[in-house]
Structure 1
């Protein structure tokens, strides 16, 4: 007797369809799984047997062979339990599954037959939909992932005996959507932050043009809260980006950290003690790291010099290529890493170098050594470097104008609209992606701005990379000011951002 069903296996952040075949024949009773099955899959034999018996079904006392095809792909994960149990019950004639060629199965079984939540279901569902599967049989606890894929009809089950009648079981299960934790609602509004006009302009420019940003200042001046405020300035995730990001979070089993209702972009802020594997991804079977969790969102590294140099060096490739490649003996894994990079640091170990009315206990050698923890290649990839100064008395005691937020959002939306129109059909998303050739095409300065550019070249000793970064920022500032051409005022403001970097001895 032979039968089959379909499941999937995660490879990186993508899923590959797997055909689960069962053959029940005469011979010495036994249960064998073939097809490059990992330890977790091989252990499913005992879980499936106990679940079938405790659900009121009979265990076939015959020779049972399970094959997971194709045989050249490593299979791992407890989500194969449900598919193996279902195809075995159908093969032994205890249940009948209609239209099985259009059904996808995933779920982990308890010994009593209950079906548990499994991670990575969203990636599997997206692959199943691409391969024209119409129905998915899943644990009820995976409802949040199931409702995100519109082309699949989900059957959400609580127990293995629900396989007797999928339609009836799905109707009476009565799963209610879990309330979202409203992740992101606690992030501050930029208008609520007191003072820091120059730093706010830099955050707005970073949000409008997709620029990487480094905030340099003493403790308590508001660097972290400025970085967090960018979340509500960024455009919401579109449908494609939402599915991409949610599938990564589903693999890491932390989908609740995303705000699926508000569609806020992810804001990931790892601790400085993080390892390279934790940041870029890794493990015996590689899983996404923090940079992949920040895909389509923001990666924020607070206290940047406190991170290990080897960890920071791993950021070079993803910042350039927007993805990371991890190689293992069983193959290569690609993880997406298209994020906006924000960082904050103190000017010295004690934090008060150059701060008025505060004493710095650090020697010049300590300050230089502290700042040199940031490598040149990493600094080369940061367009904006801003000095954040301590607040004055009036800025601390008196509130800001309530109209600021509206102006920020309106200007950012207008700037994004200008970029979308300018780069239509070019593959460029925002100003931060412009190269030298594209800068010469899209970033033409006015005659008066050219004089400012010449002066900036002399005073800042601009390299080619410095020139590119300066013009990227100037283009964004011009967009924020609704200027089709870069004006003198736009370029002066962009140079000011470079001047802050020079004052902090962080000029690229």
Structure 2
């Protein structure tokens, strides 16, 4: 007797369809799984046997062979349990599965027959939908992933005996799952932050143009809260981005960290003790790292110089190519890493270099060595580098009511609209992606701004990269001010945002 069903296996952040075949024949009773099955898949034999017996079904006392095809792909994960049990019961004539060529199965079994939540279901569902599968048999605990894929009918099961009547299970599964409204972090509003007028402008500019941002200032001046406020200024995830991001979080089993209702972009802030594998992904079977969890969102590194140099060096490739490649013996894995990079650091080890009324205990050599931890290639990829100063007494004790009247979101939306219209059919998403050729085409300054640009070149000793970064920022500021051409005031503000970066480069 022979039968088959379909499941899938995760490879990187994508899934590949797997045909689960079962043959029951005469011979010495046994249960064998073939087809490059990993340890977790081979362990399915004992789980499936106990689950079938404890669910009121009969275990065939015959020679049972399970094949996972194609045989050249490594199979791992406990989610094959449900497919193996279902096809075995169908093969032995105990249940009948209609339209099995259109069905996809994934679920882990307990010994008593209960079906547990499994990781990576969303990636599997997206691949199943691309391959024209119409129905998915899943654990009830994976309802949140099931509702995100619209063109698949879900059968959400709690127990193995529900396989007897999938139609009844489908009726029970026709409900709206409660999507989490609050993500794990309560993001602040930019208007709630006191003072820091210049830093707020930099955050708004970064949000409008997709620029990377470095905040440099003493402890307690508000660098972290400024970085967190960018989340509510960014455009919500569109449908494609939401599915991409949610599938990565599904693989890492932390989908609850995404705000699926408000569609906030992810904000990932790893601790400075993180390893290279934790940041870029890795393991014997590679899983996405923090930079992939920040895909379509923000990666924030607080206390930047405290990160290991080897860890920071790993950021160069994803910042340039928007993806990361990890090579293992069993194959190559690609993880997406299209994120906006934000970082914060102190000006020196003690944190008070250049701060009025505070004594810095660091030597000049200590300060230079501390700032040199931010390598040149990484610094080259940060458009905005600004100094955040401590708040004054009045800014701390008294709230400025005029700050609440500024509609930052309206300005940002208008700037994004100008960029979308300007770069339509070019493949450019925002100003931060402009290269030298694009700048010559889209970033033309008016006559008065050209004089400012010449003065900036002389005073800042601009390199080609410095010029490109300056004009990217100037173009975004012009968009925020609704200026078709870059004006003198736009360029002066962009120079202010570049001054600390160029000054630190001259010092080092």
TM-score bin (small chain): over 0.9
Q: The residue matched to 2:6 in structure 1 has which SS?
A: strand
Contact 1:387 1:501 in 2 (8 A): no
Contact 1:191 1:400 in 2 (8 A): no
Deviations 1:99-154 (A, max 9, x none): 00000000000000000000000000000000000000000000000000000000
Contact 1:208 1:476 in 2 (8 A): yes
TM-score scaled by structure 1? 0.98
Contact 1:347 1:504 in 2 (8 A): no
- Equivalent position of 2:54 in the other structure: 54
**C-alpha distance in 2 between matches for 1:172 and 1:429:** 43
Contact 2:155 2:173 in 1 (8 A): no
**C-alpha distance in 2 between matches for 1:304 and 1:170:** 50
Contact 1:387 1:504 in 2 (8 A): no
Deviations 1:69-93 (A, max 9, x none): 0000000000000000000000000
Q: The residue matched to 1:165 in structure 2 has which SS?
A: helix
- Kindly tell me: are residues 196 and 507 of structure 1, through their superposed partners in 2, closer, same or farther at Cα, counting changes over 3 Å? farther
Contact 1:191 1:401 in 2 (8 A): no
Q: The residue matched to 2:101 in structure 1 has which SS?
A: helix
Matched, 1:225 2:233: no
Q: The residue matched to 1:486 in structure 2 has which SS?
A: coil
**Number of equivalences:** 508
- Equivalent position of 1:475 in the other structure: 475
Deviations 1:217-258 (A, max 9, x none): 000000000000000000000000000000000000000000
**C-alpha distance in 2 between matches for 1:284 and 1:274:** 18
Task: Map 1:10-409 onto structure 2 (within 5 A).
Answer: 10-172=10-172, 177-178=177-178, 180=180, 182-183=182-183, 186-401=186-401, 404=404, 406-409=406-409
**C-alpha distance in 1 between matches for 2:200 and 2:402:** 15
Q: The residue matched to 1:5 in structure 2 has which SS?
A: strand
- Kindly tell me: are residues 396 and 429 of structure 1, through their superposed partners in 2, closer, same or farther at Cα, counting changes over 3 Å? same
**C-alpha distance in 2 between matches for 1:376 and 1:299:** 19
Q: The residue matched to 1:147 in structure 2 has which SS?
A: helix
TM-score scaled by structure 2? 0.98
Shift of residue 428, structure 1, vs aligned partner:
0.4
Shift of residue 400, structure 1, vs aligned partner:
2.6
**C-alpha distance in 2 between matches for 1:337 and 1:445:** 33
Contact 2:154 2:173 in 1 (8 A): no
- Equivalent position of 1:495 in the other structure: 495
Q: The residue matched to 1:198 in structure 2 has which SS?
A: helix
Contact 1:140 1:175 in 2 (8 A): no
**C-alpha distance in 2 between matches for 1:465 and 1:405:** 37
Deviations 1:150-173 (A, max 9, x none): 000000000000000001133346
Shift of residue 179, structure 1, vs aligned partner:
5.1
Shift of residue 39, structure 1, vs aligned partner:
0.4
Deviations 1:173-220 (A, max 9, x none): 687624515116611100110111110000000000000000000000
Contact 1:498 1:507 in 2 (8 A): no
- Kindly tell me: are residues 502 and 464 of structure 1, through their superposed partners in 2, closer, same or farther at Cα, counting changes over 3 Å? closer
Contact 1:192 1:400 in 2 (8 A): no
Q: The residue matched to 1:8 in structure 2 has which SS?
A: strand
Contact 1:352 1:358 in 2 (8 A): yes
- Equivalent position of 2:449 in the other structure: 449
Deviations 1:241-280 (A, max 9, x none): 0000000000000000000000000000000000000000
Contact 2:210 2:340 in 1 (8 A): yes
Shift of residue 501, structure 1, vs aligned partner:
2.7
**C-alpha distance in 1 between matches for 2:285 and 2:241:** 25
Which range is displaced more, 85-94 or 173-182? Answer: 173-182
**C-alpha distance in 1 between matches for 2:139 and 2:242:** 22
Shift of residue 499, structure 1, vs aligned partner:
1.4
Contact 2:181 2:261 in 1 (8 A): no
Gaps of 5+ in 2: none
Shift of residue 402, structure 1, vs aligned partner:
5.8
**C-alpha distance in 1 between matches for 2:244 and 2:9:** 17
**C-alpha distance in 1 between matches for 2:76 and 2:226:** 42
- Kindly tell me: are residues 459 and 267 of structure 1, through their superposed partners in 2, closer, same or farther at Cα, counting changes over 3 Å? same
Shift of residue 478, structure 1, vs aligned partner:
0.3
- Kindly tell me: are residues 488 and 205 of structure 1, through their superposed partners in 2, closer, same or farther at Cα, counting changes over 3 Å? same
Deviations 1:444-497 (A, max 9, x none): 111111111111111101000000000000000000000000011100100111
Shift of residue 500, structure 1, vs aligned partner:
2.8
**C-alpha distance in 2 between matches for 1:10 and 1:299:** 24
- Kindly tell me: are residues 56 and 216 of structure 1, through their superposed partners in 2, closer, same or farther at Cα, counting changes over 3 Å? same
Root-mean-square deviation (CA, aligned residues, Å) is 1.4
Contact 2:460 2:503 in 1 (8 A): no
**C-alpha distance in 1 between matches for 2:340 and 2:288:** 17
